[in-house]
Structure 1
Amino acid sequence: MAHTGAAKTASRNGSKSKSRRRPLDDEGIIPVLARAVREVESQAARGKVNAQNRTKFQVAALLVREERNRVKDDAEVSTQERAEVLKRLDGLAAIMAKTAAKDTSLIALLAPEAKVSEAAKRLRRDFLLASGAQLAPEELIIVDRVETPSPEAAKQVVPQSVRQAQLANPFMAPDFAAYAQSTGRAEGRLVNWELIEPLFRAFEQGSGGGAASMELPEPAGLSTPGGIELMPHQSSFVEAAKAGHRTFLLADEPGLGKTAQALMAAEVAEAFPLLVVVPNVVKTNWAREVEKWIPGRRATVVHGDGGELDAFSEVFIVNYDILDRHVGWLSKFDFRGMVVDEAHFIKNRESQRSKMVQAVAGTIRARLGHPLLVALTGTPLINQIEDFRMIWQFLGWIDDKKPLTELMAKLENTGLTPVDPGFFAEARRAVISMGIVRRRKEDVAGDIPARRIADIPVELDDEAGRSIRDAERALVERLMARYDRVVAARGTPTPTIDTDLVRLVCHSEIEESKQDDSSQNVFALVRTIGKAKALMAADYTAQLARNVGKVVFFAKHIDVLDVAYQHFVDKGFNPTQIRGDQTSQVRQDAIDRFTTDESVGVIVCSLTAAGVGVNLQAASNVVLAELSWTSAEQTQAIDRVHRIGQNVPVTAWRIVAAQTVDQRIAELIDQKSGLALRALDGDEEASTVEGTMQEAALGNLLIQALEARGEIRG
């Protein structure tokens, strides 16, 4: 069991502080264990032992074992006292053996290797406290569901600088507010209701209208330690942190300066050391932002195994990709706050990055109770409302099953249940008040010029175009065959299109495509379309650059980026580029060249590598050579240019292959953005697309084909 050594120390400390007591006094751990063992024995005599008493049984067995080892090893215990204590422990062990004989399922709990639940760890702590033992600070805090992998599995490291910092400050002062909170018992009208799904529905429906933004104080001082003025909307956020609010989902539209707000919130909350988890591409930029906004704070960037890390810094910047190597020491370090940039990166609960973030955040919350936790993302919803789940869990608003104490109290205060009229609107307001902050550019930054998206259709008339159309027809025929097989198996064909079956067929096709490397699936088709458009998109970009100046060129696939980059070199545009295989420093150098070197006319960017945390406002025109599978990715790309500091209108030119699935994707992207409009901006009229973009695009193709053969849309 974890912390066994600490338990022995704690028990020993407890016995030393009462060294004059006689072993048979009603003190110490044995009377506590005796009461627990008798309760379990009594229930076993009546039948099966329930979960609560099973936990008591296991904890009693653990502590009997620990106390036996302690009294045998304690040189200060007299021979007579040792014999007396061991006799009493033997008596408890005998009762437990008889109890296990009555309910044989208890036998497994006696094994030393039996898994110890979080509930058992808490009960063990409570038993020791009841016995009068003096526990070490780390034993007072029990962290739920921290999924820290073994060092072997995660290849964890402890940088030398961290070891030096730990030696310099071996003790961390815990905030016992966390312990006080953990001992509270859930009660109230809603305790037995399933609430997570209703909370999601409240946002999906846009219930009550209005933007999803908590009430913020009036902006106060705009100055910063770096001598740069905040904008009023940024100052309001900082004032909320200054007033004591500690958890935020800062979902301002991209380009409204979320980085500055997070750093200034940490400054006023004195949340240092501060841990910042970011995409790899923006690590260097975050270090620059620290120097810009809070120059009195020293930042360190964690690379690789952390050999260059300065553990005596106040801001620690680490990227998602190496968290598994560092999660061990990060979970134990004395962080007072944590910022997760581009927090939609953790939306998949099964992903390694999400598990690592939750593990570190869980230990910080457990240790401090009310640390500063900030999730930054202008696009928190990618495909579905459930994308909120892991962000809310990081912030400590919910766990995997229910709202936690503070949010539950707010829901209780509404006086409503999910079946009552008005619950969804009130529940949405309750969640928003936990710390959702969402501002749109048009509302808070009127000086940012407008932006528009213009489609440039291109015709694929050559052999590549014919091949693409043939592949698309084959894909549609395969979808129709799947659909027809299911309808035939039902034995009840109807002239009405079954839209649920359409979604199921398209979902199956997508899942199979993920495992299929052939050229027949939708992913390969879209990639082929991108390659066919590459030279035309690059040529259009070159013409644009000649007329308007600097242009940002975005594409998704490496072969498209390669074709475009070489085209710009041949045309004399002295291009630079941002790609996924570059180091952070090389990326930053590319951005600096594009920003300051007038001879650089084009920057070629990967949608995934440059779509977040990059400032490219030296340009006002963006070319999207390939369409993304999410509206959020498109928005992020455009907002590398359309952001605070831009002083001319921004235009994004989408290169769309006419008469192909590419055109349907372009049409769906704008519909997909309706999810954020409904959930975050309170637009109840916004239309949305169910499922992923891939499923929606395939569903569109299949329904169109079914209608062409005479079936009717339901």
Structure 2
Amino acid sequence: MLVAHATWHGGALCLWAEDPALPDTSRVRVTPKPHPFAAADLHGTSYAALTAGAMRVELTLLLPGSAAGPFPSPELAREPSSRRPAPHPWRVPALALDPFAAMALLGSADDAEDIVRGADLRFFALVADEAMHLAERGRVLPALVREDGDLTARWRPVITGADAERFRELARAMPPACRAAGDGRAAAEVLLEALTGLADATVRGIVPHPLLAERTGRVPDRLPLAERWAEALTGPDPAVAREPGDDPGALAAELDSWAAAALRPSGPLRVCFRLGEPPQDDPGGPWTVQFALQGTDDPSLYVPAGAIWTGDAASVAGAEETLLAGLGRALRLYPQITEALRVATPTSVTTDAEGAFRFLRESAPLLSAAGFGVQLPQWAGRARLGMKLTTRTKTDPGATVSSGFGLGDLVDFRWDLALEGEDLTEEELTELARLKAPLVRLRGKWVELDDAQLTKALEFLSRGRAGEMSAAQAVRAVIHAGDDTLPLMEIDADGGLGDLLSGQADRRLEPIPTPDSFEGTLRPYQERGLAWLAFLDDLGLGAVLADDMGLGKTTQTLALLATRAPYRSERGPTLLIGPMSLVGNWQREAARFTPKLRVYVHHGGGRHRGEELEEAVRGADLVLTTYGTATRDREALSAIAWDRVVCDEAQALKNSGTRQAQAVRSIPARGRIALTGTPVENHLTELWSIMEFANPGLLGPRQAFRERFATPIEAHGDEEAAAALGRATGPFILRRLKTDKTIITDLPDKQEIKVWCNLTPEQASLYQATVEDMLDRISASSGMERRGLVLATMAKLKQVCNHPAHLLKDGSRLPGRSGKLERLEEICAEVVAEGEKALVFTQYSEFGTMLQPHLEARLGRPVLWLHGGTTKRRRDELVRRFQEDTEPAVFLLSLKAAGTGLNLTAANHVVHVDRWWNPAVEDQATDRAFRIGQTKNVQVRKFICVGTMEERVDEMIERKKALAERIVGTGEGWLTELSVAELRDVVRLGPEAVSA
């Protein structure tokens, strides 16, 4: 596990990694010394692809530590040093990422299996977000900058008003490591440099790059400096081509004046440009770019330039001066204004179709990015010319309907070309190609065409357009057809193939009612999901069930097995692979919903091997195992004939190159199902990895997928590539959200879920030692002493179930030592990813104090903490911040301090980490979120450690729920009345509590 750090130096994001496994070489006699834990590079990690083109550099960083060595970062969770920190220089190998590469990494990087982001790298991700927000709101201006003697075109952020306050907040929050290579520069100076570089990269990624080669008219031998500068404002290269006689001083001074004016309080009006079409009765007539003034805060306020010069807008103060000054500034971005400014009262620019095309493609995006108003016709934008595939199911001679659907069935097909959803004839397309005009009038409306599209379309039509093929060939054709130039725009298929290719198969298929062998009732959306799973399962195609957290992916999967009752053992059992923390949950859910299903759990040190494993599998319908066990037992599991393999929390496969992902993919099966609430967490290649498990080879090689989909979508926001990816994956991915009103109308207002957690070996050892000590002492005591011992020991056992450090109180590290903590991290991360909020209750203040900084570091977000020692003023402030501020997503609360009296309806998730064992007390705490004012369904999770007293006490409460108020009372005192034999049964450690 590496910790990724970042600093900004030399106009680049410099990334370096801290590896705690490296030997300490800091005592070598070199000044400055090499950092003892600095990793040489990031090859072989999840960041390798994002840093492939980075330049290797060596930095000297001032880092806290002592002369003996630097202090490790907090992310390494080592024991804090008792020595007083002081800054010392250390040599570190780093990767310098230009702003383009930095934006790609910061926009997609997150904690991964092999990388944890340091606070400094997380900070730069916030800076990248701020750069994007400034660019999206037009808070950037173009500039001409001298860099090492060369001229470059740059976009500079305009930081005023609320943006200036946000800038100051970011500067105050900057971790010192972000400027560790800055030679003592102030935080604001480093922040401005980073924000400027990232904002420039953002605009270049949004605004299309105008290429001189695309101009259809004559290109002059020598373009003016202003036009060369405007060309350099887009695309990856900011260099401005130099010509003899260039005088950049005047242009630079005017742009600097523009920037200075923008920093002054902005007025209520801005210049706006509107593209006007030729008259309806004269398609070959002139085009116009009309000038106007538009309200800065109210774009509906629109005053044409003609009204200003005729006096009709006399009530608009300073309109003439504002219009002329704005046109003067816009002149550098749209030089054609020059002709209009030769008159005293400019109103518009007159141009031809080619000039209108250049305004659309070049000037309009630049003007919009610089904060001017731009109004374009509704049709503006390149016409969506693409392919259309039509298939029709072939029926047997004499049959009136198809007898069924399989991938081997033949279908009739036809390829056509369509423009904006309308089929084009060959004659129309040939005429468009003959005209070779960038803007043409087609069927009564203007469209913008591309020569490359037309050429490729004619080539396409020269090939075979109709015939027959198998359904499997049709599926592959849909996935691989089209490209950025000529995409697949529409599919018209009937029958089973239409159900599959529609991307809405769950709605087109007939829902499957709750199976007779399923002990429960499926909701309508779950019946549709079951029909979809069964449909793909029958075809032998893999499915990715990506329903939102809490919509019942486990339930639908078990219902699928129930539809196969009496379980098709002749085709082999189902293998389910999931995190260790969920194995117990699957075992109990199977016992609850499908009690006749034979389940074998394959994990732990005592699991079967060899012939014993084969025998156990033959006697099972469902085999449960963990990702770790599947990796270790890869050969043994691959030798078994499985009907299907199901992966729960399938995001564990997102890094396709890991041993774990490779092992799981290598297990053969007739069908495959991936269950995940987050099919894409950071990168689109994660989706490829999950799909490669579900349907191997369907999306092609990983590199081809990156070139076709991942890079265009992530780096350039390519909507056509995104639509093509949706069509390619839509048939195999079912995603429903709780926010979808068609899904949640039948969900309860409050859904309670028991979350089953395992103990780690360390927890199990501490638990067993506590039990043995307790039983000896309790058996020799009586009266009040006995009751006190029982309660004290129960508290110790609950602390062990929470975390060893909670019981030991030794301040030791938290990661990797508690099943509950692992599950809590997973749930909180998913809540944050979904943009929702959670309340996390614990009855132990000391445990909450331990959790708060740990969760804050893991989530990269503020985690609030309210306990009995919180003052009323601080308590009110915490509640207000959680309710009103979007940043804190997790609120840790002490059960006693916050179980009543608070309104926290911003949260729709409630987690009870340790149980109070009194339903009334837990319900009161839950009601902090589940109360009047709550607009979302509330999900309540109660953590229970498998095989411990937590599970058995929960069983006792469930059995006696009707009498809970009398038996359980208002606390845990009822436990003290149990006999020693009953206590022994309650607190014993079951073999299922821990797994290897």
TM bucket (normalised to shorter chain) is 0.3 to 0.5
Structure possessing the higher relative contact order (Cα contacts under 8 Å, 6 or more residues apart): 1
Question: What TM-score do the two structures reach when normalised by structure 2?
Answer: 0.26
The structure with the largest alpha-carbon Rg is 2
Question: What TM-score do the two structures reach when normalised by structure 1?
Answer: 0.35
Q: Which has the higher strand share?
A: 2
Q: Which has the higher helix share?
A: 1
